Chain A
Amino acid sequence: MSNDHVSNLMKGHMETLATEGKRADGRGINEYREVKIEIGMLNTAEGSAMVHLGKTKVLCGIKMLIGRPYGDSPKSGTMMTSTELAPLADQSFDPGPPREQSIELSRVVDRGIRESRMIDFEGLCIEEGEKVWTVFIDLHILDNNGNLFDCCTLAAAAALSNAKIPNVQHGVADKDVDLPVNCWPISCTFGKLGDSVILDPTSEEEGVMSARFTVAHDENGNLRAAQKGMNGAFTDSEIREAVKTARTSDNVLREALKGIQ
Chain B
Amino acid sequence: MAGQTDMKLIKNGVRLDGRKPDELREVKIVAGVLDNADGSCYLEWGNNKVYAGVFGPMECHPRHKQKADRAIVQARYTMAPFSVNDRKRPGYDRRSTEISYIASQAFERVVMVEEFPKASIRVDMQVVEAHAGTRCAAITAASVALADAGIPMRDMIPACASGKVNDVVVLDLNKEEDNYGQADLPLAIIPSTGEVVLLQLDGHLTPDEFEQAMDLATSGCMDLYEKMRNALDNRYGGSA
Contact = CB atoms under 8 A, between A and B. Distances in A.
A98 B97 CA distance: 10
Interface stretch (A18-26, A43-51, A217-225): A217-225
B202 A225 contact: yes
A232 B202 contact: no
Interface stretch (A27-35, A128-136, A171-179, A235-243): A235-243
B133 to A, nearest CB: 17
Nearest to A236: B194
B210 A103 contact: no
Interface in A100-139: 100-101, 103-104, 106-107, 111, 114-115, 117
Of A231, A232, A234, the most chain B CB neighbours within 10 A belong to A231
B2 A73 contact: yes
B204 interface: yes
A227 interface: yes
Contact of B195 (A73, A218, A230, A233): A233
Contacts, number: 100
A231 B190 CA distance: 13
B48 interface: no
Contacts of A114: 202
A223 B207 contact: yes
A185 B94 CA distance: 23
A224 B203 contact: yes
Contacts of A104: 98, 101-102
Contacts of A12: none
A225 B101 CA distance: 18
A57 interface: no
Contacts of A101: 101
Interface in B83-136: 94-95, 97-98, 100-102, 104-106, 108-109
A228 interface: yes
Contacts of A227: 102, 199-201
Interface size classification for chain A: 35 or more
A63 interface: no
A232 B108 CA distance: 8
Of B193, B209, B210, the most chain A CB neighbours within 10 A belong to B210
Nearest to B203: A115
B34 interface: no
A229 B102 contact: yes
B105 A229 contact: yes
A115 B214 contact: no
Interface in B198-228: 198-207, 209-211, 214, 218
Nearest to A121: B4
Contacts of B183: 223
Interface string B163-202: 0000000000000000000010100011001111111111
A215 B104 CA distance: 21
Nearest to A225: B202
A215 B210 CA distance: 11
Contacts of A184: none
A228 B200 contact: yes
A234 B3 CA distance: 29
A204 to B, nearest CB: 20
Nearest to A122: B4
A192 to B, nearest CB: 10
Contacts of B209: 223
Interface of A: 73, 98, 100-101, 103-104, 106-107, 111, 114-115, 117, 213, 215, 218, 221-236, 239-240, 243-244, 247
Interface of B: 1-3, 94-95, 97-98, 100-102, 104-106, 108-109, 183, 185, 189-190, 193-207, 209-211, 214, 218
Given A107-B94, A228-B200, A231-B109, 17 more contacts: A100-B98, A103-B97, A104-B102, A106-B94, A107-B98, A111-B202, A114-B202, A213-B199, A215-B201, A221-B207, A223-B205, A225-B201, A226-B185, A231-B104, A233-B195, A239-B196, A240-B214
The 6 closest A-B pairs by CB, nearest first: A226-B201, A233-B195, A231-B108, A228-B199, A231-B105, A100-B101
6 contacts: A107-B94, A111-B202, A223-B205, A223-B210, A239-B214, A240-B210
